[in-house]
Structure 1
Amino acid sequence: MSRIRRHTLPRRPVRLAAITGTALLAAALTACGGGNSSSGDAKSDLKSDKKTEISVNLTGKQAKAGEPVKVTLADGRLQSVTVTDAKGGKLDGKISADGKTWTSDRVAAPGASYAIEAKDDKGGSAKADFATAAPEKENKLSLAPGKDSTVGIGQPLSIVFDHPVKNKAAVEKQLKVTTSDNTEGSWGWMEDYSGKSRIDWRPKDYWKPGTKVTLEANLNGVDSGPSGGWFTKDYKTGFTVGKNQLIKVDLDNHRLKLFRDGQLVKDIAMSAGTPGGDKASWRGKTVLMAKEGTINMNSETVGLGSSYNKMVDYSMRLTWSGMYAHAAPWNSGYFGSANKSSGCIGMSDADAKFVYDSVQVGDPFEITGDDAKGTQALNNGYGEWNLSYDAWKAKSALTGNTGTTGN
């Protein structure tokens, strides 16, 4: 049962009562009136007491999380209800049309304590409190791109969860994407390359340069489902879309072309993966995931045996499986004429430096040609651009809900 504390209003005595199974708040409202007779020597006082009962659906110290808070008034009308957690956060809510019930917009989070103050239209007020049970397991997430970053026109929003998400619709409902220009887009679920639950949001078409994007993941109090645990916090991030850049790679003709604002900036001779086996490159639309600079590349880490182990400059990651664009001076005899690498797109030092300095994380790489081992998988980096928009929308747990708003 909730603890009930006495609250006394000036000139209005307040009585609080409790009923087993609910948190019951009682405000006794006193109306006083007086008047003088015309002669001034007669005086009468009018006094009445009326008990107002308010019940709360969540009670005690182990209340069930994941449910909205409901405060109900027996008689009269509610004027206001304030529900505050121990950290000073508030649960907003609405009073019903008949003034009898207040319901919070969001649910009570696990492992949290709440204080309630309710006021009625007669000036009475009362207080109560409750706490929710701590979660047995807590789910967390990682977000991409980074907060306040500037990215290319192909960059999706991507969320990877620490634990499985079975209640996909419940989670997706709490993800709100806001764009500065009402960009149309949709969420889509997949299993990440790591094996974890993942959801991405991509626009229908490539972003427009200058678009500002905000994600609010209001997940505090949402249950992931079996083996997933509860979310115990909200998340917020945002980014800006930068230059309109696109890289086109022609595997069969051994060329890489950088376009900016639709205009060709650089045409580069390159050599991609050796066709006919595991060393072939992937084709399809991918997105630059990271500019990693000078890194060690070991073919054994991507299942290609011990064919190479070397430091590589100007490395630009395109997939989780180890496909990069980078400098490959050791392969210069094949630039522009043959594909003879172990899967990556190799260029001269000077050309690789030019591309590396020019590109942004999130720039699309559109890779075409028959000299490939297939189309990049959806979860192998950002492969969602290889699906039609209708096919991508079908991966949302909320049919017909794009989850986006404009400013």
Structure 2
Amino acid sequence: MIRTRPRSPFRTAALGGTAVLAAAALTACSGGSGAAKADDGKDAKPDTRISVNLSGKQAKAGVPVKVTLSEGKLQRVTVTDSKGVTLDGTVSADGRTWTSARKAAPGTGYTVEARSADGGTAGAGFATAAPEKVNKLTLAPGKNSTVGVAHPLSIVFDHPVKNKAEVERHLTVTTSDNTVGSWGWMEDWSGKDRVDWRPREYWKPGTKVTLRAELNGIDSGEGGGWFVRDYTTDVTIGKNQLVKVDLDNHRLNLLRDGREVRDVPMSGGTPGGDKASWRGKTVLMSKEGTINMRSETVGLGDAYDKMVDYSMRLTWSGMYAHAAPWNARHMGSANRSSGCIGMDTGDARWVYDQVQVGDPFEVHGRDAKGTQALNNGYGEWNLSWADWQAKSALR
């Protein structure tokens, strides 16, 4: 049995705006605001044999919280951060040590409450040092989105991620139908680090998807800084649609549930140079409506400067499907655009109204300048499943 001592007097100290309580009860950190109460309402006695691995006002972040009992067994440990979030944890087989599942986050105050099996209790408080640099991220699709069957889960980081494996371990994808998928790392078109989760095959329509990035307290590595919060996004997979673009025959076909809905004449990029279209499996990134398109932004000099209707972005490099009434004489007969998939206004309006962000556009044909790059939009569908899996930091 653990022997306990009479209650010690307590003192209160301010720490980073959070009340932190000190007592002699714990050997490695500060204690509670007053005598702990046992379940029967009687004052419980502080246990001098319980210690915490973190203490003070500048404790090290990025490590688990450990509460240790020198003899006897721990009955219960509660660690709560300054936002009221409780850390989960487990007690060792011998009952002597409790370890949190999550790591202590930077710039955060924590309160520890521990009880031994014979009724001894102790409270403690500590705070971790503030981060010198914070890393943030952008998630796509956005929260509560409904997207097409080809849209990956995509994360772009504000700062470099050197600890890719550690970060990937804290990214969890759950689906309503146990979809098989894998993470893959790349350099985004913007030059930032990016990681996408792609299913082995296109999503099944109606699938419910949740991405949890439990990154609070994780270090990005050199030059990247700390993550100081978690992220969650929920996505629903919409209609089963596929757009097939045949550059050689100058046709665009919309298929729904495997059946052709409409066949549209189109004109792709002029073959033989930079104005040719990209081929491959791409993904509709956004529906942008009427936008100004200027050739200078895609490295084609002063070839054009137009307001373009029903614009549907397919790549970061500027390949769109859109209305192109000025090219009407070539629809269905020749590829004479500056790289985009052009249609007459009526057909473009119809396609624009039907498609969803995340719908796959599969572009085939000889009249192309190559296959869309991995990071030029969502190009991961152009990799085999094995090659995509190889891009995981955990492989």
Taking structure 2 as the reference length, the TM-score comes to 0.90
CA distance in 2, matches of 1:165, 1:5: 47
Equivalent AA in structure 2 for residue 282 of structure 1: W
Alignment of 1:61 onto 2:91: no
CA distance in 1, matches of 2:179, 2:321: 30
Q: Secondary structure at the match of 1:23?
A: coil
User: Which is higher, the Rg of structure 1 or of structure 2?
Assistant: 1
Report if aligned partners of 2:54, 2:60 keep a CA contact under 8 Å in 1: yes
Report if aligned partners of 1:24, 1:56 keep a CA contact under 8 Å in 2: no
User: How many correspondences in the alignment?
Assistant: 368
Spell out the pairing of 1:106-117 with structure 2 (5 A cutoff): 106-117=102-113
How far off is 1:123 after superposition?
1.1
1:30-71 Cα shifts (integer Å, max 9, x gaps): xxxxxxxxxxxxxxxxxxx99641011011111110000000
Equivalent AA in structure 1 for residue 317 of structure 2: S
How far off is 1:108 after superposition?
0.0
Report if aligned partners of 1:25, 1:55 keep a CA contact under 8 Å in 2: no
Alignment of 1:273 onto 2:279: no
Q: 1:250 to 1:270 in 2, by over 3 A?
A: same
Report if aligned partners of 1:71, 1:101 keep a CA contact under 8 Å in 2: yes
Q: Secondary structure at the match of 1:390?
A: helix
Report if aligned partners of 2:215, 2:230 keep a CA contact under 8 Å in 1: yes
CA distance in 1, matches of 2:265, 2:167: 46
Report if aligned partners of 2:25, 2:46 keep a CA contact under 8 Å in 1: no
CA distance in 2, matches of 1:198, 1:204: 19
Q: Residue 177 of structure 1 aligns with which residue?
A: 173
1:379-402 Cα shifts (integer Å, max 9, x gaps): 000000000001000000012xxx
CA distance in 2, matches of 1:122, 1:222: 36
CA distance in 1, matches of 2:150, 2:29: 52
Q: Residue 230 of structure 1 aligns with which residue?
A: 226
Q: Residue 341 of structure 2 aligns with which residue?
A: 345
Q: Residue 103 of structure 1 aligns with which residue?
A: 99
Equivalent AA in structure 2 for residue 384 of structure 1: E
Q: Residue 300 of structure 1 aligns with which residue?
A: 296
1:358-386 Cα shifts (integer Å, max 9, x gaps): 00000000000010000000000000000
How far off is 1:23 after superposition?
2.6
Alignment of 1:206 onto 2:215: no
Equivalent AA in structure 2 for residue 348 of structure 1: D
Q: CA RMSD in A?
A: 1.9
Report if aligned partners of 2:26, 2:48 keep a CA contact under 8 Å in 1: no
Q: Secondary structure at the match of 1:355?
A: helix
Q: 1:18 to 1:72 in 2, by over 3 A?
A: closer
Q: Secondary structure at the match of 2:172?
A: strand
Q: Residue 251 of structure 2 aligns with which residue?
A: 255
Alignment of 1:335 onto 2:341: no
How far off is 1:16 after superposition?
3.7
Equivalent AA in structure 2 for residue 261 of structure 1: D
1:23 to 5, 29, 32: 29
Q: Secondary structure at the match of 1:256?
A: strand
CA distance in 1, matches of 2:377, 2:62: 33
Q: 1:125 to 1:348 in 2, by over 3 A?
A: same
Taking structure 1 as the reference length, the TM-score comes to 0.88
1:274-294 Cα shifts (integer Å, max 9, x gaps): 001110000000000000001
1:330-362 Cα shifts (integer Å, max 9, x gaps): 000000110000000000001001100000000
